[in-house]
Structure 1
C-alpha cells in the first residue's frame, strides 16, 4: 500500500518535474529485494517486449517479481516516478531519458527496445508520390500536418525533414495538434482536416487497413538515411536506484533477452501475441506490423554505441534537446 501511495504522489507531482525536481536528489527504491516496479508511457509498439516477458512468465522464471506496472501517459511522469523512487525502471522513448539527464546526471539507459525511429509520415491514398525524399518533403510544404503535440517526437520528425532541405516547418507548414489517440488522428486524415500525419506506429498500418492513408516517409523503413538504426524505445533509470537493484536488473535483462528473441522467432506466435497486446487493432494492420517489428526490434537489450549516437545526433539536430550525454555517460556503472 505504501508503494502505491508513493506512486500516486509522484504521478500528481509529474507536471512540476522540470522545476520542482531540478534541485532534488533521486530517492532510493521503495521496493523490497527481489521486486521491481516498472512503469511505462503507454501500450505502444515500443513496449511490446515487456508484454511478452510478462505474458510468458519470463520475469518469474528469472526469479524477479514485478510490483507496480503503471501506464503513466507521458515521459515526464515516468521521469517523475523514477525521481521519487516509486518505480525502479521506466519504459519510454530516448527523448525522455535525455530530458531526465538534464536534471540528473545519474540517468542510465538500461535496455534497447526499438532501434529505429518509429514515427511515420502518413498521407491519403491520392497524395502525390514523388520519387526522391527531397521531393516528398517539398510536397508537404504548405500542408496541414497532424502531430501528437508540441515538443513531441512527431513534431521533431517534421522539423528535421523540413530543415534538411532548408525549410522551416513552423512557417512552411501548419502543424495541427491532435493528441495521441489513434481514432482522432485517422479521423482527421479521413475528414481532410489534415493533409498528412506525423505519428507513431501503428497509425500508418491502421490507416492503410482502413483505406484512408498510406506510409509516405518512414525512417524505420530506411527512407531517411541519417536516421537508420536510431535508438528510440528504451528502458531507463538512475544509478542511485540501480545500485540497490543489481540482481534484479540482471534478472530483468535476462527476461528481456528472451522476449526480444521471441520477436525474431516464429512469426505466427508474434502475430498472436501482438493481437493480444494491441486489442481491437485491425488484423491487416497487425499482419503489416509483424515484419516491421522484426526489423526494428533488437536481438538483445544491449545498448549499442552506433544506435545511441545516431539518436543523440538526431535529437540535437532537430532541437528536441539542447544537450545530451555521450554514450559512456549513460551506461550502467557496475
Structure 2
C-alpha cells in the first residue's frame, strides 16, 4: 500500500472512531438546516390539583395544538409526588416536568443542568387543614393568630404527601418560624401522594389531626363537614410567603438544546391558557367545574380563592423567585439560595413569549 492510500485509510479510521465516541457519549447530532424540528414533548405533572388547571385549559382550548406541539401522552401523565416526577426527568422518561418549585430546587442540587422554563402558579396553593375534633380540643379557628395555630400543632399527627415534598416543607417552615422542631414536635404521616380521597379519609378517621394538602382539599373538607382550612398562605395567613413562586415547568438543558421549538411552543400554549382564564372568568369557572368534577357552589368557592394565584403569564418574576428561595432555605430543603440567573431559563421564556400579543 503506498503512502497516499495509507494516509487515506488512517483518516477514515480516525473519523470512524470520533463518530463512535460521540454516539457512546450520548451526543445528539445537530439538526440539519431546513429539517423539520421534533415537536413532540413527553410531559408529566404531579397531580391534577387546582395548580395544574392551566394545562387542562390549554388542552381543552387546543392552545398546544395550535402552537404545533404534540404532548405524549395527552393529557400529561400524573406521577403523584415530586420525587417520582424528578426521577422520571432524570431517567429521561419525560422531557418536561410540571411540579412545585420545591421539586426543581431539590433536583438542581444534584443536577446543575436543570432549568425552570415557566410558572403556572404564583401563590402557595397549599393549606393546613384540621379536623373538627382538633378545633374543639384547641378552641382555635382560622381567625386565631398564626403563632397560636402553629403552637397548637405540637404533638399532633400531620398528613403530608411524602418526605422532602412541598407539603413537608410547609410544615417545617411554619414550625421553625415559632422556634419549634419539625422532627421532634410533630409527627409527619406520609400518605403517598396528594390524593384528596386519601387525605380526607385519613382526617375523617382520625389517623391524622391535620393535613398539609393542596387546594381544593380544604374546601372539600369544609363542604363535607370533616374539617376546616386552618392556615392558608394564599389567603395571606403567612405574610413571609406572600407572592411566592409555587408551580413551575422545568427541564434539563439537553432538552432545551434538542427541542427548542417544541419547548417554546409549549410555553406559548400555556401562556395563552393563563391569559384566557383571566379574560374569560365565566367560561373558565365552567371548565374548572368539569376539571375538578365539583358542583357549581364548590367550584365558585375554589375559583374565587385560587384565581389570584394563577398567573397571567409563564414569565417568572425575580421577586417571586426570591421569596420562594428564602422559604426553602428556612424550611431546610436547600442550604443556600440558588441564583435566579443560573436556574431560570430567561432566554427560552423570552423567545417563547416574544411572538404573543401583549407580551412583555
| Contiguous gaps of at least 5 residues in structure 2 | 1-24, 30-35, 349-360
SS at match of 1:325: coil
Q: What is the distance in 2 between the residues matched to 1:258 and 1:28?
A: 31
CA contact (8 A) 1:92 1:233 kept: yes
2:67 is aligned, of 62, 67, 71, to 62
Q: What is the distance in 2 between the residues matched to 1:278 and 1:35?
A: 27
CA contact (8 A) 2:41 2:72 kept: yes
The aligned counterpart of 1:166 is: 179
Q: What is the distance in 1 between the residues matched to 2:274 and 2:28?
A: 29
CA contact (8 A) 1:28 1:241 kept: no
* 2:44 pairs with 1:39: yes
- Give TM-score scaled by structure 1 length: 0.85
**Cα-to-partner distance string for 1:70-114 (whole Å, 9 max, x where unaligned):** 222333333333334442211111111112212221211011111
Structure exhibiting the larger radius of gyration computed from Cα positions: 2
* 2:120 pairs with 1:113: yes
Shift of 1:296: 0.4
The aligned counterpart of 1:221 is: 235
The aligned counterpart of 1:4 is: none
SS at match of 2:109: helix
2:100 is aligned, of 93, 114, 128, to 93
Structure 1 residues 26 and 190, CA, compared in 2 at 3 Å: closer, same or farther? farther
Structure 1 residues 26 and 289, CA, compared in 2 at 3 Å: closer, same or farther? farther
The aligned counterpart of 1:6 is: none
* 2:99 pairs with 1:78: no
* 2:317 pairs with 1:304: yes
**Cα-to-partner distance string for 1:249-298 (whole Å, 9 max, x where unaligned):** 2222221111001221333212221122223x454432211112211011
CA contact (8 A) 1:116 1:230 kept: yes
CA contact (8 A) 1:205 1:285 kept: yes
Structure 1 residues 168 and 145, CA, compared in 2 at 3 Å: closer, same or farther? same
Structure 1 residues 219 and 103, CA, compared in 2 at 3 Å: closer, same or farther? same
Q: What is the distance in 1 between the residues matched to 2:290 and 2:231?
A: 28
**What is the number of equivalent residue pairs in this alignment?**
308
Q: What is the distance in 2 between the residues matched to 1:170 and 1:188?
A: 21
2:328 is aligned, of 305, 315, 333, to 315
Q: What is the distance in 2 between the residues matched to 1:66 and 1:299?
A: 22
1:179 is aligned, of 177, 192, 198, to 192
* 2:208 pairs with 1:194: yes
Structure 1 residues 300 and 134, CA, compared in 2 at 3 Å: closer, same or farther? same
| Contiguous gaps of at least 5 residues in structure 1 | 1-24
CA contact (8 A) 1:263 1:293 kept: no
